[in-house]
Amino acid sequence: MARKIEKSEQQWKQELPEDVYHVTREKGTEHPFSGKYNNMKDKGMYRCSCCGEPLFKSDTKFDSGTGWPSFYQPVQEDNIENITDSSHGMTRTEVVCNACGAHLGHVFEDGPAPTGLRYCINSVSLDFDKED
């Protein structure tokens, strides 16, 4: 079972940079092609920028051409949670960190094999641990 981190919104607001707070706690999004991890090719582990939970391995990252880092599967299914998102006049599947509830992005069914999924994730929702 995944760990659960509970903090008040005031605690998150004090601990996180403004852009990270906006995206992860207020369900914002960064502008396409602006994120620091969009074009990253380094090997390693992408973690939640709020709590450090491991989310995606670099070998599942692919260039979707959308302007956000994209992955075809999480490192462990129970590290993320999928939530129906009916905002902005459409229905999508929101992806959140299962440990702390941080908004990460959305998942779509137009990704590559082997899963056919595209986890479209905001760079500010991620930290990166480079592989040695």
* CATH assignment at residue 101: 2.170.150.20
Average pLDDT, the chain: 93
Work out the percent of the chain whose per-residue pLDDT is above 70.
Answer: 98
Which structure tokens are listed for 113? 């094999």
- Residue 4 domain-assigned (yes or no): no
Average pLDDT over residues 87-113: 92
- Residue 57 domain-assigned (yes or no): yes
Contact 2, 79 (CB under 8 A): yes
- Residue 85 domain-assigned (yes or no): yes
Give the residue numbers annotated as catalytic, written as ranges.
Answer: 120
Q: How many domains does the chain have?
A: 1
- Residue 109 domain-assigned (yes or no): yes
Average pLDDT over residues 25-39: 95
Distance of alpha carbon 97 from alpha carbon 116, whole angstroms: 21
| Domain coverage including residue 101 | 9-130
pTM of the model: 0.93
